[in-house]
Amino acid sequence: MTEHNTVAEEFLSGRVLLIDKPLGWTSFDVVKKIKALLRHRLKLKKIKVGHAGTLDPLATGLLIICTGKKTREIENYQNKEKEYTGTFFLGASTPSSDLETEPDEFFPTDHITETLVNEAARNFTGELDQVPPLFSAKKIDGERAYFHARRGDATVLKSNKIFIHDFEIKQLDLPEVKFRVVCSKGTYIRALARDFGKEVSSGSYLKELRRTKIGEFSVEDAWSIEQLENYFKKLEN
């Protein structure tokens, strides 16, 4: 059996791929890309491909992709704790709590100190009630919340129980705060940015986000899209 056929059989049987999602790509864009590679490079016309946990287009980092029979295990990966690094921008807020929308409110930051920021971080550890951002895929009467948000509907989502295991302030350089967070499934870092701003009596939105770990899996072991393309090209030679 050729290496090409062996790899094709492996993907059909089920493989778990760690992908470093590029900025601007949706999680589904990555799934579509891998499906296209499997169809065109390995001639697999019918194969299941799915991701284990959405990562926003404005975020980069670890995305777990399952193929073939491994798609049955997606929920196992979704339930694992996540680690993120990123940057909050203090002194302003946006409707989406990130850079999908423009800042529309501005707040003072002169009172913000390193002590205040570290105390705020400690207040966001353990079990918390978090209200998801309206710009999210949560459903309201069968419709995605972001459709309500884009129409300007005055809607508030119900809070969810989340757990933040670790919230570390890496650097304070006002108006920016660099952080690392280890959290449970269902935690919205955009909502954390929003609530963090209120905790320090200001405003905040998520400027940058990178998912670095999912359970025992690390982005350091992930493929870039370019590396994956080159891998499949070599199989054809």
How high does pLDDT run on average in the chain? 90
144 vs 223, more confident: 223
Q: Which CATH superfamily is domain 3-79+217-236 in?
A: Pseudouridine synthase (3.30.2350.10)
What pLDDT score was predicted for residue 107? 98
Residue count (the chain) = 237
166 is catalytic: no
* CATH code reported for the domain at 82-214: 3.30.2350.10
Confidence (pLDDT) at 126:
97
Residue with the bigger pLDDT between 234 and 147: it is 234
Model pLDDT, residue 194: 96
Compute the average pLDDT of residues 201-216. 98
**Range of lowest pLDDT (20-29, 58-67, 129-138):** 129-138
Average pLDDT for 14-31 = 95
Taking Cα atoms as reference points, which of 75, 76, 77, 48 lies closest to residue 64?
A: 77
pLDDT class for 121, splitting at 50, 70, 90? very high
90-117 pLDDT tens trace:
999 998 899 999 999 999 999 999 999 9
Quick one: which of 57, 53, 66, 58 has its CA closest to 12? Answer: 66
Q: Which of 56, 104, 129, 141 is catalytic?
A: 56
pLDDT by residue (tens digit) across 23-55? Answer: 999 999 999 999 999 998 888 888 999 999 889
CATH 3.30.2350.10 domain range(s) in the chain = 3-79+217-236, 82-214
pTM of the model: 0.91
Percent of the chain with pLDDT over 70: 88
Q: What is the pLDDT of residue 179?
A: 98
Q: What is the pLDDT of residues 142-187, one digit of tens each?
A: 555 555 555 565 666 678 899 999 999 999 999 999 999 999 999 9
Query: In the prediction, which pLDDT does 149 show?
Result: 53
pLDDT at 197: 98
Q: What is the percentage of the chain residues whose pLDDT exceeds 90?
A: 71
pLDDT score of 140 more than 60: no
Residue 58: per-residue pLDDT: 94
